[in-house]
């Protein structure tokens, strides 16, 4: 397929773009900077330049192009969010940005539209022992301070699902690690900027496995469906951080009590909350299996690749 990929030069895009090309697809990356152009072209893709928040710019950038599919991997996050306000720009990208990309999809004849979502759309806090499937509630959290984030994720999926003639698919990713995401964790650990709280459980996904699931959804996903993209081993965030510190031989992160993070409510929530997410649907319908079933094997592979 010929694909327009928004977010091609981002952390995940740098893993997803080669995976799409290796699968035989042609990628045109959408970026708003010349640095982004260089990154995209360096991966063997071509680039078009536009700010996804400007509908007219996006339409001008894709004028004369035809695409089979549009993939949105839009995020403004350069590091883990700690305050609710840290999500505000990404929330707007998930709404206005997704609307503009859907307009581009219609203008270029695309019949498939994949969008990035997250497991936090199921809610914030302790969601119980799970496993949570795609049939569970997805949208604004009853915890008011987090409601706008779930609303943005819900609207993002509504845009993807509701356009006649376009098969919209949502990928509800777990917390990313692996490749450049692990590198970012290593930098924070080495600088002593990643304290840990021994609480909570989350569902993770290595970027390479997230890319594999995205390619599978592009090729075999059903329109109007959402897929959880997580590995087989939910774990506390602290365990993942400690494993990275051990395998990459960084400073051991200091342990702090949960109350210590309360001034940073978003950080406190995803460190102390519980998200035990099922990946059965993605396995069954997409024919996908995570290469790294646990963060332990994924982090070990990253360390070996880095020569550790």
Condensed to tens digits (0 to 9), the pLDDT of residues 270-306 reads 889 999 999 999 999 999 999 999 999 999 999 999 9
Residue 76 has pLDDT above 70, yes or no: no
| Residues 33-46, mean pLDDT to the nearest whole number | 96
The Cα 247–Cα 296 span in angstroms is 9
| Residues 37-41, mean pLDDT to the nearest whole number | 97
The Cα 213–Cα 118 span in angstroms is 14
Answer with the residue of higher pLDDT: 191 or 105. Answer: 105
The Cα 137–Cα 114 span in angstroms is 20
What is the pLDDT, as a whole number, of residue 264?
87
| Residues 120-125, mean pLDDT to the nearest whole number | 95
Say how many C-beta atoms besides its own lie within 10 A of residue 289's C-beta: 14
Condensed to tens digits (0 to 9), the pLDDT of residues 123-177 reads 999 999 989 999 999 999 988 999 999 999 999 999 999 999 999 999 999 999 9
Residue 223 has pLDDT above 90, yes or no: yes
Instruction: Give bridge partners of residue 255 from the DSSP assignment.
Output: 196
| Residues 8-17, mean pLDDT to the nearest whole number | 96
Residues 6+ apart with CB under 8 A from 302: 178, 179, 182, 247
Say how many C-beta atoms besides its own lie within 10 A of residue 3's C-beta: 24
Mapping DSSP to helix (H, G, I), strand (E, B) and coil, where does residue 95 land? Answer: helix
Phi, psi of 60 (to 5 degrees): -65, -40
What is the pLDDT, as a whole number, of residue 7?
95
Residues 6+ apart with CB under 8 A from 185: 177, 194, 241, 244
Residue 61 has pLDDT above 80, yes or no: yes
Six token digits for residue 9: 């030069």
Residue 53 has pLDDT above 90, yes or no: yes
The Cα 189–Cα 303 span in angstroms is 14
| Residues 13-22, mean pLDDT to the nearest whole number | 98
Q: How confident is the model at residue 84 (pLDDT cuts 50, 70, 90)?
A: confident
Q: What are the start-end ranges of the H helices in 32-178? A: 34-42, 55-62, 88-92, 98-107, 147-161
Q: Are 273 and 127 in contact (CB under 8 A)?
A: yes
The Cα 65–Cα 304 span in angstroms is 41
What is the pLDDT, as a whole number, of residue 123?
95
Q: How confident is the model at residue 79 (pLDDT cuts 50, 70, 90)?
A: low
Query: 237-248 vs 180-190: helix axis angle to the nearest 10?
Result: 80
Residue 215 has pLDDT above 90, yes or no: yes
- The owner of tokens 């090729």 is 219
For domain 2-302, give the fold.
Rossmann fold (3.40.50)
Residues 6+ apart with CB under 8 A from 183: none
Instruction: Quote the mean pLDDT of the chain.
Output: 95
Residue 82 has pLDDT above 90, yes or no: no
Answer with the residue of higher pLDDT: 29 or 76. Answer: 29
């Amino acid at each position: 397929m010929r694909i327009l990929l928004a977010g091609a030069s981002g952390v995940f895009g740098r893993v997803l773009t080669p995976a799409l090309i290796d699968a035989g697809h042609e990628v045109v990356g959408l970026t708003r900077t010349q640095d982004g152009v260089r990154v995209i072209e360096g991966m063997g893709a071509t680039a078009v330049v536009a700010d996804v928040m400007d509908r007219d710019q996006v339409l001008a950038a894709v004028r004369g192009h035809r695409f089979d599919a549009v993939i949105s991997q839009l995020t403004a996050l350069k590091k883990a969010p700690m305050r609710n306000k840290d999500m505000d720009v990404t929330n707007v990208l998930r709404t206005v940005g997704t609307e503009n990309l859907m307009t581009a999809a219609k203008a270029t004849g695309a019949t498939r539209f994949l969008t990035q979502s997250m497991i936090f759309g199921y809610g914030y806090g302790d969601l119980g022992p799970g496993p949570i499937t795609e049939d569970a509630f997805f949208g604004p959290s009853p915890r008011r301070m987090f409601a706008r984030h779930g609303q943005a994720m819900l609207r993002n999926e509504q845009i993807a699902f509701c356009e006649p003639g376009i098969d919209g698919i949502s990928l509800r990713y777990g917390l990313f690690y692996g490749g450049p995401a692990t590198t970012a964790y290593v930098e924070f650990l080495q600088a002593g900027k990643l304290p840990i709280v021994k609480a909570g459980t989350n569902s993770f996904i290595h970027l390479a496995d997230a890319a594999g699931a995205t390619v599978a959804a592009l090729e075999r996903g059903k329109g109007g469906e959402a897929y959880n993209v997580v590995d087989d081993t939910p774990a506390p965030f602290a365990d993942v951080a400690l494993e990275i510190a051990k395998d990459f031989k960084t400073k051991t992160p200091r342990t702090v009590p949960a109350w210590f993070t309360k001034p940073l409510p978003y950080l406190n929530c995803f460190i102390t909350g519980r998200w035990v997410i099922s990946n059965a649907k993605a396995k069954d319908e997409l024919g996908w299996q995570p290469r790294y079933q646990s963060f332990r094997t994924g982090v070990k592979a990253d360390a070996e690749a880095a020569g550790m």
